[in-house]
Structure 1
Amino acid sequence: MAQVGISNTEVQNAYSCELAWGFGFHPDLNYQKRSFGGARERGIIGHAALETWYKGLRDGEAPDSAAQRALSEIQAERTKELKAGEFADFDRVDMLNWLYTVLTKYFEYYEGDAKHWEILEVEAFHAQEFDNEEDFYLPSRLDVTIYQKAGQFKGETSPLDHKFTYDFWQPYKLDLNSQFPLYILALRAARFAGKPKPIVKRVIVNQIRTRLKNPENAPPHELFKRSFKAYEKGFMDEVFNNHMKSAVRLAYLKRIPWEEAVSEIRAALGSMACQYCDFKDVCKATFEGRDTSEIIAATLKKNEYGYPPLEEIRRERAS
């Protein structure tokens, strides 16, 4: 029996509402919204541009050349939107203009990344397997994995995680975080060809501040901030154990048909999360006993984001 992947994102979604988790992650459904707007789309497009840049640096491309390729992706989206003429979404054009301006500044400000870091991986999956556990594993997708060739943390390997955020994070968001300790643990278990066992002590949270609507004249420190965050072993152990407790239930729910799972799943009706939930319309229809097929067809599609099979992740790590 193949092991089931249970990610930190899944667990956090299930904490908010198991029913929403089911719509988004149960293998019989695995839905997402047909389209995203505003902040979420900005984050998706911004991540894609950063992926292009860091892959270029990884492959030895000059920083300015990689930056131009990344920015051309945003420009292509902007041109496509403007070609719609009177039907163009000018809020989306404004968002793309903002991204183009801010990432131009980012690539200039962090040009030294190519000098100070060795880019080991970009958008790579890792899998943590648990002793005596044959039912599930913990997949993680790291934005960037770097080896620090210089600076205060020379010799360390670290995950670099991009965050497009309205304002820079308060310390508690770093301190009480489940994602980053799991990333650190995942990298500690990894091995890279031609490299010694990695020393992984901290995560780098790469914050890009979206609060400023007119960033053209903003200095870099008002737009960008990198937080280097380490965690004590005891805290990471508790985060790991907490994930395990939830993963047991979610793995069970993913193994049974949706028609059975939905009868056991708990919904968080009336919660603050409902206001921004992607699935509130289909959730309402489910509770009313109505056919959900038309709502699903009109508003949702199959999620293209997923985890490779465990064996594939193992092979990639071995190479």
Structure 2
Amino acid sequence: MKYRTLGNGLTVSAIGIGCMPMIKGGNILYGENADIDESTRTIHRAIDLGVTFFDTAEIYGPFSNEELLGEAIRGKRAGLVVATKFGFRFEGQRITGVDGSPANARRACEGSLRRLGIDTIDLFYQHRVDPAVPIEETVGGMMELVAEGKVRHIALSEAGPETLRRAAKAAPITALQSEYSIWERDVEEEILPACREHGIGFIPYSPLGRGFLTGSVRSRDDLPEQDWRRNDPRYSDENLPANLRIVDAIAAVAARHGVSNAQVALAWLLAQGDDIVPIPGTKRRVTMEDSVGAADLMLTADDLAAIAAAAPRGGTSGPRYGEQGMRMVRL
């Protein structure tokens, strides 16, 4: 495994693991339900392969994803970088809105520590920006948790460039997590430059386009009835056929190298800068092992040019979220 350094000297494996798909049921389902034992074996195998970076959030489940990760890393904590996120209000299991207040950061942190079974969260994100709370107030509350030893580093998710700059003036921001992939390149215009102005690492989530870029979905009929992606505009009957040209371009590059589409999509992200660490979601060893192999794949200039021609910034058909989801990003 290769390793990369995010902001403020935080070193992680070049490929991290998005743990969101690993629970059975829950509020966000891709494909078939996970097998909990296989999810646990996947985490253990990732550690064996040198993966150190594991990403979860209290909203996944909610809550049960942190519990699964915590149980899986028991006795294996040394050397790992455990990331989780806060930023929502709950009534029981029901999400009732965003909440970026310091009080909510503290509530979430203490709950996450308990569920994960650890003493310190290595990387603590605000999951979504709360427009009602100044970002300076939010990161100030997060830094109180750092001062108390409950958190090592703080981060943001889906923050817009000006919010990111304000946050960086108020506190040391180690990373920004936002969607970034071959078919979602909008961060390149303003957000990645803002990160680099302040030495902030970048964590792409959904680096495989929620599975689309792997080539495993050619039609909506390939998705189970309860699959979250049935609500994804890019998977609609109107947009999906148009987006297959991106998959076909990736497949052509993959064939030249004798690797999977997933490895090409992840290697493309790694080629965009040494400060980028993708976190593909996985729930099975076979897909995790394939994704981790991307760290050793070097794409050529011709490969990158072919992908750019098929997937220019803004060229994907359909927005990445529905209307409600889009109102919560780039704030």
When normalised by structure 2's length, the TM-score is 0.24
Structure with greater contact order relative to length (CA < 8 Å, sep ≥ 6): 1
When normalised by structure 1's length, the TM-score is 0.24
